[in-house]
Structure 1
């Protein structure tokens, strides 16, 4: 095996061992801590038994390591196996065992690691109000060992052990703060994910409501015209063929327009980045949404369906923002459709006033609200939802003189008042 292959093999084996240890630490923390305590105890005993060949070092020990010393060493170090479950108790046991070990005359350089590791665990798992007083335990243990050493090393040992205690507490407290911060970040991330899901659900719901509103406006208006014209054609088919042909023509034109709007709406729903490049192949599918510039066609269609409509426009006519323009058109469309369906023989009047606000007023002299069916009456609800999106107001009710009236106001932004010449909608002013 070549050197490069050997290095690769050893690196792979080290990676596998580290991965196995990490999995073990996650699955069984107690077993990991027990192994860690065994390692620390083994190193300590090896240092005490082998380094000095069983002889006593007069400068650091008055007693050689025997069974009692081994037992105290095992207690001080193997207690680390429970450091996560009872960190303060483990710190007390480790420090007490170390103090007894040193007071019995054993080597003062041994069993100083376990109290530091136990202090690190206390600082990492308990608040400073608990961990700071616990610093006294390893300080007492290590200072006691320092005073048992050679006189010339007492003060250096005191300084060294004090620094080691401070470092152990600092590292443990930093770990605790890091864990708490990560826990808070995880909690905030979960809240953010839930809020994003809630916003996504609300967006889907709002989009469904918008689509339902558009479908209602398109289908309800055009189908009302078609139903009325079909009834008229059936009624005069034998007696007045010309009127019947005109009604059928109106049905065909209205159906074609309804299909066009439905196709436009569905095409907008289907649009994605893959077919943006192909939009020029079927421009009609992405035609602009209707606005007040198509009010003439709407009025003519209602007139052909048998509803007399009068239009009045006052104020300085100017282009509107696309959303407000569509909203205004749909409001007029819905109001005239309701007059056609519910008012009976009546004349509808549409009034538009351009000022600081756009005021739409649709009135009729028909039967009024008392004769209007209450079931499935979504028209005014749809109008209210549309107008609310643009911070407008809606007022609807029967007139004292008879008939029904709907008044809608929509705020107009000055940013849409440009230099284009005024244009009229819906025919001449009356």
Structure 2
């Protein structure tokens, strides 16, 4: 029951603050008038005024206390009215022990809703009002009453100012929390966008390369199916192997998308890297593109991200050469030094083989390399053909102590 009453009062305070303050001022007025009537009908206390609380006294008391109804709308004016009516009330000869609470509540409100530049000068009003009541009391209690009223005034202002600081701090915290929420939402959106771009890059590299090989081999098998069954069977075998590899990489991508934080990542196939370069080269050779590979420098394991990036760059370049260069030989040069340098060239159609300005493959390649602070240079060669040069910074440099290594010979 009490919880329901408190909840109703909170809703009322939020919906109609003035009505809440009015009810509060009426309550304070009622308590003050009751206290004044009790003191007026009780035994006389020496040193205190004994003027009965008639109509004028009741009106002044209501002015002192009902002014609290405007504590939120006009706190400074409310303090002036309350203190002025209190001074007039006590100067008229009424009991000095009445109407001392409202000025303190008014000062608390001013300190809680106005800056110290405004509230500190306003302390003078309750000081005059309450010290006036101390002077009207018994002479033997003058200094204790002055000290007591001074402490009460200081406490009221301190509590009000502390409340103001707390409200301002809460507002700042709310504002900062809102900014933090917006920043977190922005970071989440950027993370989603980056993840979508990463998935798009992976899908492009997997689908574009493998499907290019499959399409070319399927066309070859259809062309020689009747005249050269052995070549057709070889083309179909290449299609089956390429399709199986594509399915394996697609399963790996889907597994990464479904992986949870508590899952054991060891159960998933690793991302491809330069250790699978031989398989890639053999697949392109079987598709009809002669490929030569040369490796210089100190061959060493690469960070997983750079390893995958280098593999995808070579895959994209060879796939473009297969699709666009026409009858040509592709050459892949790898150099391990302070940087990993990739150079893929072909002697095909040159400018005609260049990707479009907004081609997705070159865009994806540049995005991949940019992630690792590398550089990409692509364009036709003066002597014919097309060339792509990629550099990827490595964490440590090794001397060039290993001679060039060539993988196989071009298919004739």
SS at match of 2:407: coil
Residue 81 of structure 1 corresponds to which residue in structure 2?
A: 69
Provide the residue aligned with 2:232 in structure 1. 244
Q: CA RMSD in A?
A: 2.3
Distance in structure 2 (CA, Å) of the matches to 1:408 and 1:71? 92
1:427 match: 407
Superposed CA offset, 1:405-424 (max 9, x none): 11111111239x8xxxx999
The residue aligned with 1:324 is: 306
CA-CA distance at 1:246 after TM superposition: 1.1
Deviation at 1:22, TM superposition (A): 2.9
1:163 corresponds in structure 2 to 151
Sort the Cα spacing of 1:69 and 1:268 in 2 relative to 1 into closer, same or farther, 3 A: same
> Deviation at 1:426?
7.4
- Is residue 360 from structure 1 mapped to residue 342 from structure 2 by the alignment? yes
Distance 1:115 1:350, change over 3 A: same
Asked if 1:63 corresponds to 2:51, the answer is yes
Q: CA deviation at 1:270?
A: 1.3
The 3 A distance-change label for structure 1 pair 424 and 111 is: farther
Match of 2:289 among 307, 326, 344: 307
Q: 1:414 aligns with which of 378, 388, 396?
A: 396
TM-score normalised by length of structure 2: 0.94
C-alpha contact (below 8 Å) 2:291/2:409 kept by paired residues = no
Q: 1:182 to 1:205 in 2, by over 3 A?
A: same
CA 1:72–1:263: 2 relative to 1, 3 Å = same
TM-score (norm 1): 0.90
Which residue does the alignment assign to 1:296? 278
- Alpha carbons 1:56, 1:63 under 8 Å: kept: no
Contact kept? 1:296, 1:425, Cα under 8 Å: no
Q: Contact 1:294–1:425 at 8 Å: present in 2 too?
A: no
Using the alignment, how far apart are the partners of 1:208 and 1:410 within structure 2?
Answer: 23
- SS of 1:251's equivalent in the other structure is helix
* Cross-structure match for 1:391: 373
2: distance between equivalents of 1:270 and 1:376? 32
8 Å contact kept, 2:354–2:379: no
Q: Match of 2:114? A: 126
Relative distance call for 1:188 and 1:423 in structure 2 (3 A) is farther
SS at match of 2:377: strand
Between the aligned partners of 1:50 and 1:101, the Cα distance in structure 2 is: 17
Q: How far did 1:20 drift?
A: 3.1
Q: Distance in 2 between matches of 1:128 and 1:106?
A: 33
> How many residues are treated as equivalent by the alignment?
408
Q: 2:254 aligns with which of 247, 261, 266?
A: 266
| Conservation of the 8 A alpha-carbon contact between 2:40 and 2:53 | no
Match of 2:22 in 1: 34
CA distance in structure 1 between the partners assigned to 2:261 and 2:298 by the alignment: 40
Q: How far off is 1:233 after superposition?
A: 1.4
Alignment of 1:204-215 (within 5 A): 204-215=192-203
How far the C-alpha of 1:166 sits from its partner, in A, is 0.7
Match of 1:5 in 2: none
Give the aligned partner of residue 167 of structure 2. Answer: 179
The answer to whether residue 331 in structure 2 is matched with residue 349 in structure 1 is yes
Partner SS, residue 52 of structure 1: helix
The reply on whether 1:23 has 2:3 as its aligned counterpart is: no
Query: Contact 2:292–2:409 at 8 Å: present in 1 too?
Result: no
SS of aligned partner of 2:356? coil
Displacement of 1:427 = 2.3
d(CA) in 1 for partners of 2:53, 2:409: 114
2:40–2:50: 8 Å Cα contact kept in structure 1? no
Say if 2:91 is the partner of 1:91: no
CA deviation after TM superposition for structure 1 residue 237, in Å: 1.8
Q: CA deviation at 1:373?
A: 5.4
SS of corresponding position for 1:84: coil
Cα distance in 1 for partners of 2:381, 2:357 equals 22
